[in-house]
Structure 1
Amino acid sequence: MLKVGVIGTGMIGQDHIRRMTTVLAGVQVTAVSDVDTVVAASVGAGVGASVHATGGEVIADPSVDAVVVCSWGPTHEEYVLAAIAAGKPVFCEKPLATTQEACLRILDAEVAAGRRLVQVGYMRRYDAEYRALKSSLGVIGRPLMMHCAHRNASVPSFYEKEMAITDTAVHEIDMVRWLFDDEVAAVRVLVPRRSGNGGELQDPLFVVMEMAGGVLVDVEISVNIRYGYDIRGEVVGENGTAALGNASLVTIRHGGVEASPVPVDWRERFLRAYDVEFQEWIDSLTAGGRPVGPSAWDGYAAAVVSDAGVAALRTGDRVPVSLVERPKLYGAEVAAA
């Protein structure tokens, strides 16, 4: 039984605790913490976990074998580094850290430890449709292009224009690296006519990524589309195309209209992917003692591409992506999980 401590008991933290206590096998939540001590106490009591004042105390708790970090992004570096220092595997929700420099410090610490301890929460790699899409690439010939759409019904009032890259498009950034087993070489961001639904927010955006191997990827980012949460992807190959299926489980015909319900938000669309992601993380630690999913290198690469995207949004220029040399510890991690 893997004993897990969770740092951060907000919405995503509570959802992960729910799945680890009611859905998944081979895991027990033994400790929690949050800056909101009242919420942490309530969540801890609900699952029989000890409640700590700080994330550092969770990591140091001898009843904790592995750590899940779901706290505010700027705290991730501190907790991931502490987990590495303690020799405990750590699952970190994205971002790995909020700057490239912080990501590199995590890489250095993990390389110095000499083994993989970090996994980053990029759940699309665990979605059945995306996995089927990746498996289909050998059928359609060499990939040439990919068309993507990432549409939200709405976003919170604190959402800023650069978050369209760092918080939204970052999922496509990681996904295409994994899908094509390749790095992003350059990014451009085009600005179309502004939607009236977004207020002062520049919405939508059109992101173009050039993969190092020559595949061209475009991503429509629309975060106030109103009708629902809609994720699309189609790969164009030399001999055919492969596209994600319809995420709706049912088609309704009623009143002279045929309709397929659209997911309300990311939790509905990727619920099963989160379950698979965590079960495979748990199983990998139980079987081999190390995570095999998205690595610290993947978290670093996503941060660098995101920064290039933000620069492209600000300047309107094509911005090259420059990564440090990949350490041998992460030799084939783009293709993992």
Structure 2
Amino acid sequence: MTQSSDRHTAPRLRVGILGAGPVTQAIHLPTLARLSDDFEVRVVMDVDGATAEAVAGRTGAASTTRAEDVFGDPSVDVVVICSPSQFHAAQVIAACRAGAKAILCEKPFAMTADEANEIAKVSEQTGVPIIVGAMHTFDPAWLAAEAEWGSLIETSHTIRSTVVIPPNSQFEDLATDIVARPLSPASNQTDPEAAVRAVTDGIMGLAIHDLPLIRQFLPTFADLDVLRAELASPWGYVISGTASGKVVHLQAGSTDTSAPNWTLEVIGDELSLRAVFTPSYVQGGSAVATLYSSAASKTFGPYAFSGYEAEWMALARVARGQEAPPPPVELIDDLRFAIALADQSSSHVRNNRKSVA
């Protein structure tokens, strides 16, 4: 597989970034540096002016503390939204109405189904395409396996996501220059609402990386039934349920070791898939995906480029009119699936905490 575009003939796409935090510093700027034939950063916005100026200075870009300066900048082709999640929907809509060539929004691109529907409507009205930064969906090893897995969607019966990683702060502290990062309070395991927030944050902040991949194997999630949802200690979750007649199991936890594990498995009677991803914040190339059958196995990857680079190259093709963007209904269904999972899991956690209070 190659990571090519018309990079030698097309002018570079000019990028405006909202939010100069860890995702911008540790993920997007290093990725854009590798893709400098296709992109140049023109402006970086952050509410912390010193952070905006420091991060923009790495690329020779301008800095600002006002999102309006990015939307109104005629030199910006692509708007990248890396702000806190609660601002995503309004900023996506504003970027659409400002006439961006394309938008890359970090996940989740909205917090409610109503927000997602409004985004889809505005995107259709303005013609501005939107890509959600779910890097695993663009990973070349995953896409190579997808091209070969045949009837696995129909024949699979069990889906397992296992994530064991060091705290993000360990990666952030090494890869970024953020000063005075606010500390997240430890979750109060005895407070039902604190526990609900913890499991919701785990689903919408971590599990959401894999939920679009999992949803591919669920013809419908209208019958989603979460049967178990618990918090792990000191951090993490264990969630089990069913949808489309299949078992879905998600588990995540934290480790202080240097041996992270990010694995997604799809198991069928005749064929199974195992994809091993690199952790977030790690610029470590692609996943490794293996299809197993009773007769043989076939492995895809690792490829030299990662899902981060692949999502940016997809954005370039979309912005240049070389490729159609993902249908808005796909993005909305991904979000609805995540919200349904979070809502049902939260109800279990709340009820469990109240029953032992």
SS of residue paired to 2:69? helix
The aligned residue for residue 52 of structure 1 is: 64
Deviation at residue 141 of structure 1 after TM alignment: 8.3
The 8 Å contact of residues 24 and 279 in structure 1, kept in 2 or not, is answered as no
Distance 2:227 2:119 in 1: 29
**CA shift in 2, pair 1:148/1:25, >3 Å:** farther
Deviation at residue 300 of structure 1 after TM alignment: 2.6
Deviation at residue 314 of structure 1 after TM alignment: 3.3
Residue identity opposite 1:280 in structure 2: A
SS of residue paired to 1:292? coil
Are 2:95 and 1:77 aligned? no
Mapping 1:170-249, distance limit 5 Å:
170-177=208-215, 179-180=216-217, 182-185=219-222, 186-191=224-229, 195=232, 198-199=233-234, 203-211=236-244, 214=245, 216-227=246-257, 228-244=259-275
The aligned residue for residue 6 of structure 1 is: 17
Residue identity opposite 1:6 in structure 2: I
**CA shift in 2, pair 1:79/1:87, >3 Å:** same
Residue identity opposite 2:104 in structure 1: F
The aligned residue for residue 95 of structure 1 is: 108
SS of residue paired to 1:47? coil
Residue identity opposite 1:224 in structure 2: S
**CA shift in 2, pair 1:141/1:175, >3 Å:** closer
The 8 Å contact of residues 116 and 332 in structure 2, kept in 1 or not, is answered as yes
Give the one of 260, 279, 290 matched to 2:313: 279
Deviation at residue 208 of structure 1 after TM alignment: 2.5
- Unaligned ranges ≥5, structure 1: 248-262, 318-337
Distance 1:236 1:30 in 2: 45
For 1:150-181, what per-residue CA distance to the aligned partner results, in whole angstroms no more than 9, with x for missing partners? 3233447457222222222222221123x438
Residue identity opposite 1:304 in structure 2: R
Identity among equivalent positions (%) equals: 21
Distance 1:105 1:36 in 2: 29
The 8 Å contact of residues 2 and 26 in structure 1, kept in 2 or not, is answered as yes
Report the count of equivalent residues: 288
Q: Which moved more, 1:15-24 or 1:75-84?
A: 15-24
Deviation at residue 302 of structure 1 after TM alignment: 2.8
Deviation at residue 72 of structure 1 after TM alignment: 0.9
The 8 Å contact of residues 94 and 299 in structure 1, kept in 2 or not, is answered as no
The 8 Å contact of residues 67 and 91 in structure 1, kept in 2 or not, is answered as yes
**CA shift in 2, pair 1:121/1:224, >3 Å:** same
The aligned residue for residue 298 of structure 2 is: none
**CA shift in 2, pair 1:282/1:62, >3 Å:** same
For 1:216-247, what per-residue CA distance to the aligned partner results, in whole angstroms no more than 9, with x for missing partners? 14233222255543122232334232322x56
Distance 2:219 2:35 in 1: 34
SS of residue paired to 2:267? strand
The 8 Å contact of residues 281 and 291 in structure 1, kept in 2 or not, is answered as no
The 8 Å contact of residues 142 and 238 in structure 1, kept in 2 or not, is answered as no
The 8 Å contact of residues 189 and 205 in structure 1, kept in 2 or not, is answered as no
Deviation at residue 53 of structure 1 after TM alignment: 2.4
| Alignment TM-score, normalising by the size of structure 1 | 0.76
The aligned residue for residue 332 of structure 1 is: none
The 8 Å contact of residues 153 and 225 in structure 1, kept in 2 or not, is answered as yes
Distance 1:46 1:269 in 2: 18
Are 2:335 and 1:300 aligned? no
Compute the RMSD of aligned alpha carbons: 2.7
Deviation at residue 137 of structure 1 after TM alignment: 1.8
**CA shift in 2, pair 1:221/1:141, >3 Å:** closer
Distance 2:19 2:57 in 1: 15
Distance 2:166 2:153 in 1: 37
Residue identity opposite 2:84 in structure 1: W
SS of residue paired to 1:136? coil
The 8 Å contact of residues 16 and 79 in structure 2, kept in 1 or not, is answered as yes
- Unaligned ranges ≥5, structure 2: 1-11, 169-183, 188-197, 286-305, 350-357
SS of residue paired to 1:268? coil
SS of residue paired to 2:210? helix
**CA shift in 2, pair 1:45/1:150, >3 Å:** same
SS of residue paired to 1:220? strand
The aligned residue for residue 268 of structure 1 is: 282
**CA shift in 2, pair 1:40/1:315, >3 Å:** closer
The aligned residue for residue 109 of structure 1 is: 122
The aligned residue for residue 27 of structure 1 is: 39
The 8 Å contact of residues 156 and 269 in structure 2, kept in 1 or not, is answered as yes
Are 2:149 and 1:137 aligned? yes
**CA shift in 2, pair 1:291/1:71, >3 Å:** farther
The 8 Å contact of residues 124 and 273 in structure 1, kept in 2 or not, is answered as yes
Residue identity opposite 2:120 in structure 1: L
For 1:184-212, what per-residue CA distance to the aligned partner results, in whole angstroms no more than 9, with x for missing partners? 221414146x65xx23x5x431232413x
**CA shift in 2, pair 1:36/1:150, >3 Å:** farther
Distance 2:153 2:88 in 1: 40
